[in-house]
Structure 1
Amino acid sequence: MRFAAIADIHGNHAALQAVLEDIAALGIRDIVNLGDCFSGPLEAGHTADLLLLLDMNAVQTVRGNHDRYLLETPPETMGRSDAHAHALLAPRHFEWLRKLRKTMIWREEVFLCHATPLQDDVYWLDTVSGEGRVGLRPQPEIEHLAEGMEQSLILCGHSHMPRVVTLSDGRMIVNPGSVGCPAYHDDEPVPHDVENGHPLACYAILEKTGRGWAPQFRTVAYDHMVASRLAAGAGRGDWASALATGRMR
């Protein structure tokens, strides 16, 4: 079994297109998408049109927390990134979002979720200190969140940071990183920045071998300055910096 995992596109159509081209060039047809598809000051509508087309061709998607916000939050009370995306989405896009499941077992061996199995807005493999430092979550806490799951491979997103953690029983948890947002600021659970340090689009290839799962993280170059200028034009200097450099200004 060999397939690609993408996550956290956040409306970055150009990054998604580049990643899909890279996946196709590798001869991979099956893709799983771990959510947070549209939220951001970029091109939610174009991104949605592309994902709706792909959904008909072996792409399985689960719902992210920002996908949920787009459905459940009144537009007048949305955050800026969600509100920008909401204004660009058509009824068919919202109908597609409504059909997404929170979690999914894919091909009996792979568990898909956006963040954790029970919560779509909590980091699984990462933790934030009281001072706002982001680091690897302690192994016992990671293991606790995986209790009762039988699948040998577990995929999650949300933190935008590529990571792989092997559990004590041999199961593996992989975060493929973010296709479209290499850095961001969040206020929960305390104010903190997530920074990948580069502007490249990220995803992962998962292959099952005779020795178990072998994840391969890939980075893809695209015209990230076009995306950065889009964000700047929308009044989002924070996103403009993140897309240009992979760091918060």
Structure 2
Amino acid sequence: MRIAAISDVHGNLPALEAVLADIRARGCDALVNLGDVASGPLWPAETVDLLMTVPALTIRGNHERQLLADPERMRESDRVAREALSSGHLAWIAGLPAQARFAGAALLVHGSPRSDIDYLLERVEPDGPRPATAAEVAPALDGHDAGLVLCGHTHVPRALRLADGRLCVNPGSVGLPAFRGTEPYPHVMQSGTPAARYAMLQRDSGTWDVELIAVEYDHAAAVQRARSRGFDVWAEALRDGRLPPEPR
């Protein structure tokens, strides 16, 4: 069985188109989408239009939850997306599950099984984020027996095999390679490249393996789109896949 996993598209239509084309070229049995599909200043409506036509098991991320909240309390990136989305788009988003199991074989979450804003495969220290250890990840999966756990949210591609053989994978972000976070300490999550990211999972003889894939696309168009709409930090992240720390 081959599963392609995408996450954190954030309305980046050309990045999504490039990733879907690469997936078609490589071939797979199924596609799963781990959420945060539309939030941001890029092409939120066009992105949802495309995803509504793609056969995939899609779950919601924290930004889907936030898009359905009170518009007066939204952050700017959610507000600009919400204003672009139709009632049909919002109804589709509202129908997405928060978590899912795929064919009994994989657990799909956005952040972690505990919360859509948890970092499953990273820990944030005062001096910045670091990869989590297997011993740190395992307690978050108590009560879940899936041999494959797919998560997103951090935008950083990573794979970790636990002591019991379970494989945890974050495919990285299709559409936004870097962002600034605030909890528990101010930090930057970044892939270090403007490429769109996804993962291809394959199970042979009961064991899952992963390939973390980078796809080049016309990121200059996304940079220009963000900048033209006044989102200069997004433009910087899309251009370089990196962000400097927030000035103190």
Aligned to 1:143: 138
1:209 aligns with 2:204: yes
**Aligned AA for 1:78?**
M
Q: CA deviation at 1:215?
A: 0.3
The runs of at least 4 aligned residues of structure 1 exceeding 4 Å deviation read none
**Aligned AA for 2:178?**
A
Alignment check: 8 A CA contact 2:6 2:173 kept: yes
1:61 to 44, 50, 58: 58
Aligned to 1:16: 16
Mapped to 2, the partners of 1:85 and 1:204 lie a distance apart of 26
Mapped to 1, the partners of 2:202 and 2:29 lie a distance apart of 13
1:226-245 maps to which residues of 2 (within 5 A)?
A: 226-245=221-240
Unaligned runs of 5+ in 1: none
Q: What's the TM-score once normalised by structure 2's chain length? A: 0.96
Mapped to 2, the partners of 1:213 and 1:178 lie a distance apart of 21
1:171 aligns with 2:194: no
Q: What's the TM-score once normalised by structure 1's chain length? A: 0.95
1:2 aligns with 2:35: no
Mapped to 2, the partners of 1:215 and 1:118 lie a distance apart of 24
- Aligned residue for 2:197, secondary structure, equals strand
Identity %: 42
Alignment check: 8 A CA contact 2:161 2:167 kept: yes
Unaligned runs of 5+ in 2: none
1:115 to 111, 118, 122: 111
| 1:53-75 Cα deviation digits (max 9, x unpaired) | 11xx2x00011001100012x21
1:129 to 122, 125, 130: 125
| 1:33-86 Cα deviation digits (max 9, x unpaired) | 0001111111100001001111xx2x00011001100012x2122111101111
Mapped to 1, the partners of 2:27 and 2:139 lie a distance apart of 36
Q: Comparing 138-147 with 79-88, which one deviates more in the overlay? A: 138-147
2:77 to 76, 81, 99: 81
2:181 to 162, 170, 186: 186
- Aligned residue for 2:200, secondary structure, equals strand
Mapped to 2, the partners of 1:195 and 1:115 lie a distance apart of 16
- Aligned residue for 1:53, secondary structure, equals coil
| 1:149-202 Cα deviation digits (max 9, x unpaired) | 111101000001111111111111100000000011122222111121110000
**Aligned AA for 1:163?**
R
Mapped to 2, the partners of 1:168 and 1:63 lie a distance apart of 29
Q: CA deviation at 1:211?
A: 6.5
Mapped to 1, the partners of 2:5 and 2:158 lie a distance apart of 13
